[in-house]
Amino acid sequence: MKAVYRGFATRIRPAVKIPNESFIKDKKVTFGRNFPIQKRTKAWEKDGMDKDEWFKKKYSHVHAKQKTERALNGDVDPFGKRQKFYDNLKQQEVSKREQYRKHKSGYAKTHPLQGLRPNPLVDYIYGTNSVISALRAKKREYFIKLYHYGDLNTEINSLCSKADIRIEEVDKHRLNLLSDYGIHNNVILECKPLHTPELMNLGSINPEAGTFDMKEIDYDQPVTIRNKYLTNEYKKYPLGIYLDEVVDPHNVGAIMRSAYFLGADFLILSHRNCAPLSPVVSKVSSGTMELLPIYKCDKPLQFFEKSKEEGGWTFVTSHVQNSPKENHLELNDLSGMVKELPVILVVGNEGNGARTNILNRSDFTVEIPFGRAESKVHNTIDSLNVSVAAALLINKILN
């Protein structure tokens, strides 16, 4: 079989004869060998020169010629290299400034009035004392929900059960977001914002009954309200605190706390440029914002004049610069004042103090004296924090 197979295989011949087989037998055949070749003759090949030698001969003198021409025209930077270098430096400086501006904007100092993001429908009261005070006082129209993490305070739990308030346990991150990363003590109360009545003026006082009248504005109409005030052997007449453009919510909260603790009867806020009654104020005041009667005043000059006429109220303004001598009181002169007449203590802005028109309408001005012998001119501590000053003045008036 092998012999037959081999013999058969040797008798096989190709059916098609390859042309020019003898010519291309020993040559390498490529795909593009039959394509026409169009070769461009280079300039240096035409001149029979090397490429580098040809370029040197043709263009080596051009730069020197341009440099000479620019130098004759007064150009000290013939090729623009120096100008390009300065342009690059300028561009780098602009880029650095832009990068610094973007970085700084991320850490910009916020305005003291900003506080939490405003929400006209909901307040998130945080902190144990603030929540308890809000639930006890019931000054807000409604409460929505109580959020807490971990064990809930027994008193808060009892007050929520009596008021039929839903209680929801959440994680700490949710509490941080609702309180804007304030010190929430693992409890937040969702409720309606506190309503602040607008005050038109103060009225007459009845020392025997311990009451005084005030006119509130209800739908653009004045309504007379009769309120009670605290009385004791040192205090026969009411004491109110008027805050004129105190913009820091921490100062407002601290003044509220001092006023309530020392025995002031109510607080009035200027309607414009004064810190709003936010959850931050409630937290700093340790819940006093829910307990102390608070009003707002849109027209302070009219409020001052009408309160003097109708109720005989005396306005004493804290002032530290260029106090008028004719109506200026020493600190000890405030003692026992509420035994003889009703008093409104006016506290001004943290930096500029009370406004000029407020000072002009005030009956008296008072200043807390500097307690050291050295001159205040060369001392960085030349005044007190507005909340501390207010506490000292309130305590002096009431004792």
**Residues 325, 204 share a domain:** yes
Torsions phi, psi for 70 (to 5 deg): -70, -35
Answer whether residue 58 is part of any domain. no
* pLDDT (tens digit per residue) in 296-355: 998 999 999 999 999 899 999 988 665 555 788 888 889 989 999 999 999 988 888 888
Tell me the pLDDT tens digit for each residue of 199-256. Answer: 999 999 999 999 999 999 888 888 999 999 999 888 999 999 999 989 999 999 999 9
Q: Is 301 in the same domain as 260?
A: yes
Please give the mean pLDDT across all residues of the chain.
Answer: 83
Tens of pLDDT, residues 71-96: 666 666 766 778 888 899 999 999 99
Verify that 147 and 255 share a domain, yes or no.
no
366-378 residue pLDDT tens: 988 887 766 555 5
Query: What's the Rg (C-alpha) of the chain?
Result: 44
Q: Which pTM value belongs to this model?
A: 0.68
- Identity at 204, one-letter amino acid code: S
183 and 207 in a single domain? The answer is no
Please report, for the domain that includes residue 165, its CATH number.
3.30.1330.30
Residues, the chain: 399
Q: Which residues contact 246 (CB under 8 A, 6 or more apart)?
A: 252, 255, 269, 274, 275, 347, 348, 349, 350, 386
Domain range for residue 345? 198-368+383-398
Does a structural domain hold residue 360?
A: yes
**What pLDDT score does 3 carry?**
47
pLDDT surpasses 90 at 8:
no
